């Protein structure tokens, strides 16, 4: 560990590399977490399927590329396909658990996540898949810092989507309906908002955002049917840190998590990278609870 | 009920007759039955089917050549298969069933270390010799099993040849071995950790320096942190073992982060298909393999390694993966042991197996006291222009090692 810190001390260029790469990685985590923040905030559902939607977005992109379509089209197409899937999932399962106890919705989405992972494995096999986006890498500081353009693209895309989402929630009619429903579904219903449609739209939007993230994951790393859970866990963490429905907070928390995780992987060794994520989650949950207790609230 | 037309009946009668006529001589000759529980469904089904085809092909060729000569009499070989569904518990049950219910006295191994680990205690309990070809974990060979024999190289040897190679290169360049730096990235699962143990043994035996020793959690989908370390410490050799995901991520991120290493060795290149997914970028990578069809081993049943590949492709329409080759070799080893034992007494066959010293198209086979094959080295193939070329061991090499790997700005 000290040897690793020493490297960073002697060649701070690598620290820049770690943090820059970490921030870019974090942007993809943030993209997958936007939807969770929405669904959690609006529908009071912790969506465990999050990671599977990311994985499916990756598969959609992979098969598009197999069919000869340029990889970058995968981002909108995966989002569209996942939007439809999300809408369908709402109509079949999720609408039954919206008003129920949170435990039931966790159980239901956990079930869907297992089902989707297994189905993908059955249908497409367990091979690891990846897509070459055909983009290059930018190098700085004598090659010490290297930033791949695909991750840069992910970063820009996340910020753009975040901003659009924020504007959408603030300005558009559906956005306002979503916010109204989040505040008080019953009151919203009395005022003539079709909350069922709002829920469906929110859930489908979440799946679409995950799909876009998945398209980026398959271009930046690799996917296989069981890759989902780590993305769910990270999304959960980001949302817990940021607070429900807080789009700006999700971006900041996502970037922070990416940077810290990458740094931890370097300093503590890769074997502690995931352990670090979980430990951080516990720390954040405890801290949040303490902060909330001051206001006589508690973490739900 | 509608009866079938007369011509259908007569035709089916004809086929039945033909079938009987064809099987008749087989039934006349004596048959020795081997048992095997193989993963024909479940997560290992792809490799399990390679295994079964390997067994079947060897059995067919031996039988076509007249069978095995045991005590002056010719015997045909048959294999009784069960599907273990890729689950260890089922494998153990089926082994018990093969031995107790079906009366099988000799077993061929299943696919994977996990399944072999489940079956070995059963064969040991009943004193049934098992020759296996697909369980490489070294934990199979420190339990004192007497009836377990493995024709393949065990997992700790997978990347040792790469460590040897980097040492050789350093020696020929006149560099002291203590200045040679090795970086290792291994997934945190039993198989990859076996490989790590072998690499570390070899590093300390040769007096090299291990500068990175990272264990990737199976959940982790990113090597960025480790590769930044590689960039900083500039090792002479980077070894990666993390199944298909590790191989894919390594090539993807090495090329993306422009990390330069003079030598890169890994496992699972073939199953990750890195030569196809990353054409050009995967070049110069050294890949550990049990066997390659260009190697110069040979035997009387199949001929050379290349002949085996041709026979296999003619029968099954695809290039044989090494899982199929080693499975065929296991049958050859059994046949050889039967002949030398001159009987089907399990104890005599077991002793004959222990004394095996033969060459097959797959390589030399000679077991040590723990039952693992110590006569066959692992081979290293380098991807050169998108093709796999054997570069080590040197006497079996089909091409020259391309070293060092040019830096990314020159590729």
Q: How many CB atoms lie within 10 A of CB A117?
A: 21
pLDDT one-digit tens code per residue, B305-324: 999 999 999 999 988 988 99
pLDDT, residue A298, reads 65
Q: What angle do CA B38, B41, B43 make, to 5 degrees?
A: 100
d(CA A111, CA A108): 5
Q: pLDDT of A133-171, one tens digit each?
A: 888 888 888 878 989 999 999 999 999 999 999 999 999
Q: How far apart are the first and last CA of chain B?
A: 74
Q: Is the pLDDT of residue B6 over 70?
A: no
Per-residue pLDDT tens for B323-336? 999 999 999 999 99
Count of pairs with CB atoms under 8 A, one residue in A, one in B: 104
Of B190, B225, B229, B192, the C-alpha closest to B212 is B229
- pTM recorded for the entire structure: 0.83
**What does the pLDDT read at residue A300?**
57
Q: Is A166 exposed, middle or buried (0-12, 13-18, 19+ CB in 10 A)?
A: middle
Per-position DSSP letters for B249-312, written without gaps between them: HHHHHHHHTT---SEEEES-HHHHTHHHHSTTTTTT-EEEES--TTS--EETTTEEHHHHHHHH
Is residue B46 predicted with pLDDT exceeding 90? no
Buried b (16+ CB within 10 A) or exposed e, B260-295: bbbbbbbbbbbbbbbbebbeebbbbbbbbbbbbbbb
**Cα–Cα dist B222/B253, whole Å:** 8
- Chain A CB within 8 Å of residue B222 CB: yes
pLDDT score recorded for residue B392: 83
- Which pLDDT band, with edges at 50, 70 and 90, does B218 fall under? confident
The stretch B3-8 carries a mean pLDDT of 53
Rg (CA), chain B: 24
Between B284 and A121, residue with greater pLDDT: B284
* Confidence check: pLDDT of B275 > 50: yes
The rounded mean pLDDT for chain B is 90
SS3 A287: helix
Q: What is the pLDDT of residue A76?
A: 96
pLDDT band of B1, cuts 50, 70, 90: very low
With contact defined as beta carbons under 8 Å apart, do B285 and B304 qualify? no
Mean pLDDT for B148-157 is 93
- Minimum-distance CB partner of A271 among B214, B221, B232: B214
- Name, in order, each residue with C-beta under 8 angstroms of A255's C-beta and a sequence gap of 6 or more: A23, A26, A27, A30
What pLDDT, on a 0 to 100 scale, did the predictor assign at position A12? 86
Residue pair A7/B233 in contact (Cβ under 8 Å)? The answer is: yes
Best of A128, A149, A154, A257 to substitute, by most chain B Cβ atoms within 10 angstroms, is: A128
pLDDT category, B26, cuts 50, 70, 90? very low
Take residue A250 and report the two structure tokens written for it.
Answer: 């999700």
The tens digit of pLDDT for each residue in A78-99 reads: 999 999 999 999 999 999 999 8
Handedness of CA A287, A292, A297, A300 (dihedral sign): negative
- Closest residue on chain A to B225 (Cα): A266
Q: Searching chain A, which residue's CA lies closest to the CA of residue B231? A: A144
Candidates A14, A263, A271; nearest CB to B232 = A14
pLDDT at B342 over 90: yes
Q: Is the pLDDT assigned to residue B5 strictly greater than 80?
A: no
Contact across the interface for A221 and B222, Cβ inside 8 Å: yes
Q: Measured between beta carbons, which residues in chain A are less than 8 angstroms from residue B43?
A: 121, 126
On whether any CB of chain A is under 8 Å from the CB of B188, the answer is yes
| pLDDT tens by residue, A224-260 | 998 998 899 899 999 988 887 788 999 999 999 999 9
From the CB of residue B237, how many other CB atoms can be counted at a distance below 10 Å?
26
């Amino acid at each position: 560990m000290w040897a690793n810190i020493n490297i960073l001390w002697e060649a701070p260029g690598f620290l820049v590399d770690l943090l820059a790469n970490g921030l870019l990685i974090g942007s993809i985590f943030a993209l997958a977490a936007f939807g969770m923040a929405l669904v959690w905030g609006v529908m009071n559902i912790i969506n465990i399927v999050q990671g599977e939607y990311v994985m499916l977005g990756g598969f959609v992109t992979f098969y598009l590329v197999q069919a000869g379509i340029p990889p970058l089209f995968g981002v909108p197409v995966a989002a569209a396909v996942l939007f439809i899937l999300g809408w369908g999932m709402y109509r079949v399962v999720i609408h039954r658990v919206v008003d129920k106890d949170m435990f039931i919705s966790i159980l239901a989405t956990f079930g869907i996540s297992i089902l989707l992972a297994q189905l993908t494995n059955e249908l497409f096999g367990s091979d690891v898949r990846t897509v070459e986006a055909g983009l290059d890498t930018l190098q700085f500081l004598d090659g010490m810092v290297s930033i791949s353009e695909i991750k840069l693209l992910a970063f820009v895309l996340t910020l753009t989507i975040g901003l659009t989402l924020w504007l959408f929630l603030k300005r558009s009619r559906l956005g306002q309906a979503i916010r109204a429903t989040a505040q008080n579904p019953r009151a919203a219903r009395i005022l003539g908002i079709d909350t069922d449609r709002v829920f469906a739209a929110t859930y489908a939007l979440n799946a679409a955002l995950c799909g876009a993230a998945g398209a980026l994951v398959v271009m930046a790393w690799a996917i296989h049917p069981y890759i989902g859970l780590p993305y769910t866990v990270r999304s959960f963490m980001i949302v817990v840190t940021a607070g429900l429905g807080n789009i700006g907070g999700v971006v900041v928390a996502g970037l922070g998590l990416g940077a810290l995780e990458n740094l931890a992987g370097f300093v503590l060794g890769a074997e502690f990278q995931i352990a670090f994520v979980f430990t951080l989650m516990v720390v954040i949950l405890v801290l949040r609870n303490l902060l909330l207790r001051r206001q006589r609230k508690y973490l739900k | 009920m509608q009866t079938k037309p007369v011509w259908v009946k007569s035709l089916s009668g004809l086929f039945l007759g033909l079938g009987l006529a064809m099987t008749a001589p087989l039934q006349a000759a004596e048959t020795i039955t081997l048992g095997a529980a193989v993963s024909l469904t479940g997560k290992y089904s792809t490799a399990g089917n390679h295994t079964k085809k390997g067994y079947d092909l060897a059995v067919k060729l031996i039988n076509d050549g007249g069978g095995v000569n045991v005590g002056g009499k010719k015997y045909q070989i048959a294999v009784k298969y069960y599907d273990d569904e890729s689950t260890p518990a089922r494998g153990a049950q089926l082994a018990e069933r093969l031995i107790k219910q079906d009366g099988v006295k000799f077993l061929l191994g299943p696919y994977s270390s996990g399944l072999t680990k489940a079956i070995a205690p059963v064969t040991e309990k009943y004193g049934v010799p098992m020759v296996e070809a697909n369980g490489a974990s070294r934990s199979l060979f420190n339990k004192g099993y007497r009836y377990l024999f493995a024709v393949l190289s065990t997992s700790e040897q997978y990347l040792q040849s790469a460590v040897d190679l980097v040492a050789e290169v350093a020696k020929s360049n006149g560099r002291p071995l203590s200045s040679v730096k090795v970086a290792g990235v291994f997934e945190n699962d039993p198989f990859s950790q076996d490989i790590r143990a072998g690499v570390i043994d070899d590093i300390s035996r040769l007096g090299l320096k291990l500068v990175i020793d990272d264990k990737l959690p199976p959940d982790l989908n990113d090597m960025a942190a480790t590769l930044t370390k590689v960039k900083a410490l500039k090792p002479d050799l980077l070894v990666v073992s993390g199944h298909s995901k590790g191989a894919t991520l390594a090539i993807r991120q090495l090329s993306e982060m422009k990390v330069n290493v003079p030598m890169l060795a890994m496992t699972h290149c073939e199953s990750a298909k890195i030569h196809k997914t990353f054409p050009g970028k995967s070049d110069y990578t050294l890949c550990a393999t049990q066997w390659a069809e260009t190697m110069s081993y040979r035997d009387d049943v199949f001929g050379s390694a290349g002949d085996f590949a041709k026979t296999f492709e003619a029968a099954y329409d695809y290039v044989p993966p090494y899982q199929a080759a080693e499975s065929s070799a296991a049958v050859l080893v059994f046949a050889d042991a039967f002949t030398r034992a001159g009987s089907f007494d399990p104890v005599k066959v077991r002793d004959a197996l222990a004394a095996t010293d033969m060459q097959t198209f797959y390589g030399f086979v000679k077991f040590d006291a723990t039952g693992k094959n110590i006569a066959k080295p692992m081979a290293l193939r380098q991807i050169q222009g998108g093709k796999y070329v054997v570069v080590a061991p040197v006497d079996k090499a089909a091409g020259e090692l391309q070293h060092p790997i040019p830096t990314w700005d020159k590729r």
